[in-house]
């Protein structure tokens, strides 16, 4: 069982009180406890079983505009005293930074509504093993599958965040996840791989194991015997697993740290059209059981729902306290990044999106990290399928797709198949006129 709130609160409060006594003008302390259990299978056999139990403290002390931090996994009382003393001494010799401060008091979270982020259910190791056996048995029902790797993880955590302005709060969270990677071989001994997974806050919300195995096998087999294509300019459809990456890049580009450093292609773009008018983007921290849901951000600031993009117009950056002061903006509760970030679903069906163009490249996998956040240039290796008149014709491999986000954002059409499988989610996405480099 994870440590209870009272224990964590007492430890955090002790850190705050001692730091103030030793000369800190402001203090932040976070005390965390997490337990993780993982079982891995390979080819129907147990490969690894692991359990970790992590208890830790992160302390930040301020003396005026000077600031330093320290952390430890040893939180007995004597060690905490040593940590606090070291942090104070380090703070004294740290250069001043005019933007160092705690969050504004009036921005701190006060009322917390239950988001059902914790499930007390526990699945024993033998049950995890049976779950994984079912996954792999389902995958191996297909004769083309020659290898599998699967895993099951259960995580429980609790934490308390406290500061010297009186904030003292935290919450429990849990996650259960399972995955299967399948490898298939064709008659020419060429191999392909793909995967399926499930990740939820509550145990009973997970996908059934045979479904995970069947989907992983199906996706893998579909990729066998890929063809190479010529270089061309063509409309591209990103599968939901890939389209969410476009949204993640957007989030990086509007982080206040990138904006303050001047390293984002979206600097000075507030209230400008950066997407087509049909696009709306939300960051919503209060979704029940949401994988990215949170009661407050990493600084204790309340984080209300934000409509980041309204009919194509950029409305907000993701602002924390430090970089907000640099930009003369108040924190909007995004220290640590987004919560549940998503595109509002489009108005066209998945099948309708496939048929919008007589010939489209459907991307199911990208390779590498080819985003330049300063210029907005985008270039990655990719695999997928050629789609003609809405029908998947054959798999495609060894291509490179390229463009610039300023153009990509303007040419997005979204399907209506939005699902919340991650903390960042997007529907299937069509982007017109991208460059594809082939053979």
Domains contained in the chain, number: 2
Q: What three-state secondary structure class fits 15?
A: helix
pLDDT of residue 1: 81
Range of the domain at 40: 5-222
Give yes or no for a contact between 339 and 292, defined as CB atoms under 8 angstroms apart.
Answer: yes
pLDDT of residue 331: 98
Q: Are residues 361 and 297 part of one domain?
A: yes
Could you say which of 171, 187, 222 is where a domain stops? 222
* pTM, full prediction: 0.95
pLDDT of residue 156: 97
pLDDT band with cut points at 50, 70 and 90 for residue 86 = very high
Q: Are residues 244 and 148 part of one domain?
A: no
- 426, β-bridge pairs: none
For 9, counting Cβ atoms within 10 Å of its Cβ (0-12 exposed, 13-18 middle, 19+ buried), the class is middle
> Is the pLDDT at 111 greater than 90, yes or no?
no
389-415 pLDDT, tens digit per residue, is 999 999 999 999 999 999 999 999 999
Q: Are residues 232 and 170 part of one domain?
A: no
Q: Are residues 438 and 379 part of one domain?
A: yes
Tokens of 142: 């297909």
pLDDT of residue 123: 94
Could you say which of 171, 198, 222 is where a domain stops? 222
Q: Are residues 190 and 238 part of one domain?
A: no
CA distances (Å), origin 30, targets 9, 59, 113: 9, 7, 21
For residues 157 and 394, what is the distance between their CA atoms, to the nearest angstrom? 45
Q: Are residues 115 and 47 part of one domain?
A: yes
Q: Are residues 209 and 246 part of one domain?
A: no
Could you say which of 222, 249, 282 is where a domain stops? 222
Handedness of CA 131, 136, 142, 148 (dihedral sign): positive
> Is the pLDDT at 295 greater than 80, yes or no?
yes
Q: Are residues 279 and 200 part of one domain?
A: no
Q: Are residues 283 and 196 part of one domain?
A: no
Task: For residues 175-185, give the mean pLDDT.
Answer: 97
Q: Are residues 243 and 391 part of one domain?
A: yes
What percentage of the chain's residues is helix, strand, coil (to nearest 5)? 25, 40, 40
- Whichever domain contains 99, its CATH number is 3.30.2290.10
Q: What three-state secondary structure class fits 439?
A: coil
pLDDT of residue 188: 82
pLDDT band with cut points at 50, 70 and 90 for residue 368 = confident
> Is the pLDDT at 439 greater than 90, yes or no?
no
Q: Are residues 232 and 213 part of one domain?
A: no
Handedness of CA 11, 62, 295, 73 (dihedral sign): negative
Q: Are residues 292 and 172 part of one domain?
A: no
């Amino acid at each position: 069982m994870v440590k209870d709130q009272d224990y964590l609160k007492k430890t955090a409060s002790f850190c705050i009180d001692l730091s103030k006594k030793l000369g800190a003008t402001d203090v932040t302390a976070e005390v965390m406890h997490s337990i993780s259990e993982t079982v891995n299978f390979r080819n129907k056999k147990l490969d690894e079983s692991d359990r970790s139990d992590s208890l830790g403290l992160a302390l930040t002390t301020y003396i005026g505009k000077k600031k330093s931090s320290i952390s430890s996994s040893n939180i007995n009382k004597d060690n905490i005293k040593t940590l606090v003393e070291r942090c104070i001494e380090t703070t004294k010799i740290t250069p001043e930074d005019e933007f160092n401060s705690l969050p504004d008091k009036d921005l701190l979270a006060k009322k917390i509504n239950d988001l059902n982020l914790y499930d007390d259910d526990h699945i024993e190791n033998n049950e995890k093993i049976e779950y994984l056996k079912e996954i792999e048995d389902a995958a191996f029902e297909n004769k083309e599958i020659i290898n599998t790797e699967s895993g099951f993880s259960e995580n429980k955590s609790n934490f308390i965040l406290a500061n010297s302005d009186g904030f003292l709060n935290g919450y429990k969270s849990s996650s259960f996840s399972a995955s299967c990677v399948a490898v298939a071989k064709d008659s020419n001994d060429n191999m392909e791989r793909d995967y399926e997974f499930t990740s939820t806050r509550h145990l009973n919300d997970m996908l059934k194991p045979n479904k995970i195995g069947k989907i992983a096998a199906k996706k893998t087999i579909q990729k066998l015997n890929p063809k190479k294509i010529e270089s061309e300019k063509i409309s591209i459809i990103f599968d939901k697993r890939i389209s969410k990456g476009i949204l993640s890049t957007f989030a990086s580009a509007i982080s206040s740290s990138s904006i303050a450093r001047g390293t984002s292609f979206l600097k000075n773009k507030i209230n400008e059209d950066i997407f087509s008018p049909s696009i709306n983007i939300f960051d919503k921290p209060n979704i029940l059981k949401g994988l990215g849901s949170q009661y407050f951000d990493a600084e204790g600031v309340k984080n209300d729902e934000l409509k980041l993009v309204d009919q194509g117009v950029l409305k907000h950056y993701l602002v924390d306290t430090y970089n907000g002061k640099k930009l003369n903006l108040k924190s909007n509760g995004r220290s640590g990044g987004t919560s549940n970030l998503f595109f509002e679903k489009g108005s066209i069906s998945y099948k309708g999106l496939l048929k919008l163009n007589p010939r489209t490249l459907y991307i199911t996998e990208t390779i590498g990290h080819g985003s330049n956040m300063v210029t907005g240039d985008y270039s990655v290796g990719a695999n997928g399928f050629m789609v003609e008149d809405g029908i998947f014709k054959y798999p495609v491999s060894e291509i490179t797709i390229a463009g610039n986000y300023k153009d990509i954002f303007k040419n997005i059409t979204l399907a209506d198949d939005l699902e919340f499988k991650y903390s960042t989610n997007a529907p299937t996405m069509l982007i017109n006129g991208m460059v594809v480099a082939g053979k």
